[in-house]
Structure 1
């Protein structure tokens, strides 16, 4: 019996819906949008910040240094880079409908201060019974230990939980532990698969 549904944040609940500003930034730097995003999200300093080993400011200054940009403008960069991101309100509504039946959790690889930054801009975190950010616990997906931690905090066994994420490596790690998984590709398909699991 399913007792919990655990959601990833970036790429699932919080997504880039308007890439215009990000593409303009990349053009100014003489790179593609995917190259810019790789430096921001996949560089060593990004991973360090997701593990709580480097401040968010330290990571952004490393990004700026990589692109030979002034180090004191990282807050402007942050604002422009994420200006096209938005919360999927329809998905949040769906998550709200789950709560009478199951616990809902948030599990995110996120830089330092992610919780504070999100709560200052958005109002969705309080809907979750448990929210875990990698930088706060020193573990990041796909490390199995962060799934174990999440399950313990939610008080459920692996076989009693569904995990939703847009990265295949994270899905595979969760599945290996026995969680039911939904590889997120779009909202409609994710909701359909979650509902199917809940009705089994």
Structure 2
């Protein structure tokens, strides 16, 4: 069956670490290992709840601040530092923009609602996605099959005609178990090559999806 859609993750795929100098300086000053701020966030008792929309981002980052020994009032500074290390994967975005006239596109992300702001307001990528499914807005996250199934339903495309791209192999494995083609993201070049191979092996008569 021809491929009709591509579902892609946000963090560490479309939004990748690029310049971590300021963050590393902060971590050194606070006796944190490299990557320590991100580790503290993922270990917070509120991390899972924030990604399911049960607590807000401020609650999460105040807890992170307290955990690393800074004032909870500095939580916005921690958010800014964390984001300063990341940037848009412009090569991958350009690749998907070339494909989007011919394939439906969806974003499926385990994240707080802030991701929608990044995608729509900071990076102005609303045009790239037909569907955006964010765990904090849905109350369900990968690898729960429900998050994938909601995305497919909103795309109105069957699993067998969909490519799923993610940096987490467990999430890719779930997509494959549901019948999707899976691409594990390691590098931008590798991911684009793997997607191209899948599209070429499932060739169909290409015409823009909206015509």
Is the TM value for this pair above 0.5? yes
Q: C-alpha distance in 1, partners of 2:103/2:95?
A: 12
Partner of 1:185: 186
Partner of 2:177: 176
CA 1:129–1:42: 2 relative to 1, 3 Å = farther
Q: Name which one, 1 or 2, has greater alpha-carbon Rg.
A: 2
Q: C-alpha distance in 1, partners of 2:149/2:184?
A: 19
Partner of 1:60: 61
1:21 aligns with 2:27: no
1:161 aligns with 2:145: no
Partner of 1:108: 109
Question: 1:60-99 to 2 correspondence within 5 Å?
Answer: 60-99=61-100
Native 8 Å contact 1:125 1:131 kept in 2: no
Partner of 2:153: 152
Native 8 Å contact 2:27 2:37 kept in 1: yes
Secondary structure in 2 aligned to 1:33? coil
Q: CA RMSD in A?
A: 1.3
Native 8 Å contact 1:4 1:156 kept in 2: yes
Native 8 Å contact 2:148 2:175 kept in 1: yes
Cα deviation, 1:110-137, whole Å, max 9, x if unaligned, reads 1133212443321123311111111000
Partner of 1:129: 130
Partner of 2:10: 9
Q: Which moved more, 1:50-59 or 1:118-127?
A: 118-127
Q: Which moved more, 1:2-11 or 1:14-23?
A: 14-23
Native 8 Å contact 2:131 2:155 kept in 1: yes
TM superposition score normalised by structure 1: 0.95
Number of residues paired by the alignment? 200
Partner of 1:44: 45
Structure 2 gaps of 5+ residues are 202-211
CA 1:81–1:188: 2 relative to 1, 3 Å = same
Q: Which moved more, 1:90-99 or 1:41-50?
A: 41-50
TM superposition score normalised by structure 2: 0.90
Structure 1 gaps of 5+ residues are none
Secondary structure in 1 aligned to 2:165? strand
Secondary structure in 2 aligned to 1:199? helix
Structure 1 segments, 4+ long, off by >4 Å, are: none
Q: C-alpha distance in 2, partners of 1:118/1:101?
A: 21
Secondary structure in 2 aligned to 1:44? coil
Q: C-alpha distance in 1, partners of 2:125/2:114?
A: 16
